[in-house]
Structure 1
Amino acid sequence: MPSDPTVLAFDTSAAHCAAALLRGGQITVSRAEAMTRGQAERLMPLLEEVLAEAGCTWQDLDAVGVGTGPGNFTGIRISVSAARGLALGLGVPAIGVDGFDALANLAPEGQVPAIRAPREQAYVRLPGEEPKLISTETPQLPAALYYCEDPETQARSIAKIATRRIGTQIEAPAPLYVRPADAAPSKDVPPILLDG
């Protein structure tokens, strides 16, 4: 692995599609687009645009970094699947970075990194504890919560952390789910096939 690796990082764990390219120890290009749907269709073209703007090709990459959540179930699966596929196809490592680690470098001292969740809730990971879902209306929160409202900044952080983890992370990235899926099985009755 080169001393200054080229790392493409991306995240679709919320209502956005974000990417950042780190090259020569610096973020050279980063982008984010707000979107509630369509991340699966937009992610690869966005990554190609970021590479083109930086004058890079897929073969220039030394690693891929990916945000693993918590957040939107479908969005997380899109990014993690893309990262695993790219890593396999390019022969480079895919490095997962959870949202708490990505925000830890950004949060002011004394504030707990938090990720917004539906229904006035937030995902948090308090020191020494497992990640959990809390109500933001709780009268006594353990500390002030820090939210990063800029997915482009978060993608940059993922790229930097992934770069530091090259050669140390063995397992393929996996989604970080804090709560069970909120999708219910279909109640539609399957069609009846008639012979004849």
Structure 2
Amino acid sequence: MPDKVYPENRKKWPKVVAFDTSGPFVSVGWAFESYSGGNVLNMPRGQAEALLPAIEDTLASCGWTWSEVDVIGVAVGPGNFTGIRIGVSAARGLGLALGIPVFGISQFELAYGTIPVDPGTLVSIPAPRNMAYVRGFGAGGQQACGTGLLIDPGAPPPKLELSAGMRVHGHRAREIAAHAGARGIDEHYAPDAARMAELIEQKYCEADAFPPRPVPDYIKPPDAAPARDQAPAILP
């Protein structure tokens, strides 16, 4: 449930800060009025240490202080398990400390916001090890359907239920679509910090109350496996 209802005099143009650590990068964007910007720092590790300094650099470039930020946005996945936890935890903590709304946004929403697709389209985004994350968009166009899948684009699983009338859009789309005689439109997808902040601003303007706290959208479970060694005895 939403935390609380917006006040009647809420800002028409909020100051938005949004960030994404779901991949081998730290992406931080900002939006205010009709302006937006941001930066993407490529890094295979170290996102936890780099995130807050990157946000503070963004605030400094805008001439903002923490107390001026009206909205926090965070990418909730899918992507790297640890990276998603870093971003979502930071966003929830900042929202609680500042008393401001926090909106989550999935990579599929980010892709849909930059790729014009028709209702009923399967959207594909890149995943590690030459795989792809896929999720369908329903008859309403903007509403994602299902929980999403991690697939091998060269060998889509039967549970994907591809049909000849379906359209696939995004990462290795033609390769995925070819297995069902469907139409595929390849589109490169990469983090876009400014676009992320703009979409969070749009979510804020369309909402009538604080959203629920963001939760991770993992799709893929963590790579870590339980230890095989016998656990040590616990002394009384």
TM-score, normalised by the number of residues in structure 2 = 0.73
* Alignment of 1:106 onto 2:114: yes
User: Using the alignment, how far apart are the partners of 1:76 and 1:147 within structure 2?
Assistant: 22
The change in CA–CA distance for 1:171 and 1:109 in structure 2 (over 3 A counts) is closer
Displacement of 1:188 in angstroms is 4.2
The 10-residue stretch of structure 1 (104-113 or 131-140) with the greater mean CA deviation from structure 2:
104-113
Structure 2 partner of 1:17: 26
8 Å contact 1:87–1:94 — kept in the other structure? yes
The change in CA–CA distance for 1:145 and 1:184 in structure 2 (over 3 A counts) is farther
- 1:23-62 maps to which residues of 2 (within 5 A)? 23-27=32-36, 29-62=37-70
Measured against aligned partners, the alpha-carbon deviations of 1:171-192 in whole angstroms (never above 9, x if no partner) come to: 1011101122221012345567
* Alignment of 1:118 onto 2:128: yes
Displacement of 1:23 in angstroms is 1.3
Structure 1 partner of 2:5: none
Displacement of 1:140 in angstroms is 4.5
Greater C-alpha radius of gyration: 2
The 10-residue stretch of structure 1 (57-66 or 158-167) with the greater mean CA deviation from structure 2:
158-167
The 10-residue stretch of structure 1 (139-148 or 11-20) with the greater mean CA deviation from structure 2:
139-148
- Matched letter for residue 16 of structure 2: V
- Matched letter for residue 161 of structure 1: L
Structure 1 partner of 2:7: none
Q: Which residue of 181, 189, 200 corresponds with 1:148?
A: 189
User: Using the alignment, how far apart are the partners of 2:200 and 2:110 within structure 1?
Assistant: 10
Q: Which residue of 144, 151, 166 corresponds with 1:134?
A: 151
8 Å contact 1:5–1:62 — kept in the other structure? yes
Q: Which residue of 195, 204, 210 corresponds with 1:157?
A: 195
- Matched letter for residue 200 of structure 2: A
The 10-residue stretch of structure 1 (158-167 or 139-148) with the greater mean CA deviation from structure 2:
139-148
Q: Any gaps of 5 or more consecutive residues in structure 2? A: 1-9, 139-144, 156-174
- Matched letter for residue 185 of structure 1: P
Q: Which residue of 94, 98, 107 corresponds with 1:90?
A: 98
- Matched letter for residue 172 of structure 1: R
Displacement of 1:127 in angstroms is 2.5
CA RMSD of aligned residues (A): 2.2
- Matched letter for residue 115 of structure 1: I
User: Using the alignment, how far apart are the partners of 1:11 and 1:64 within structure 2?
Assistant: 11
8 Å contact 1:112–1:146 — kept in the other structure? no
- Matched letter for residue 216 of structure 2: P
Aligned residues: 191
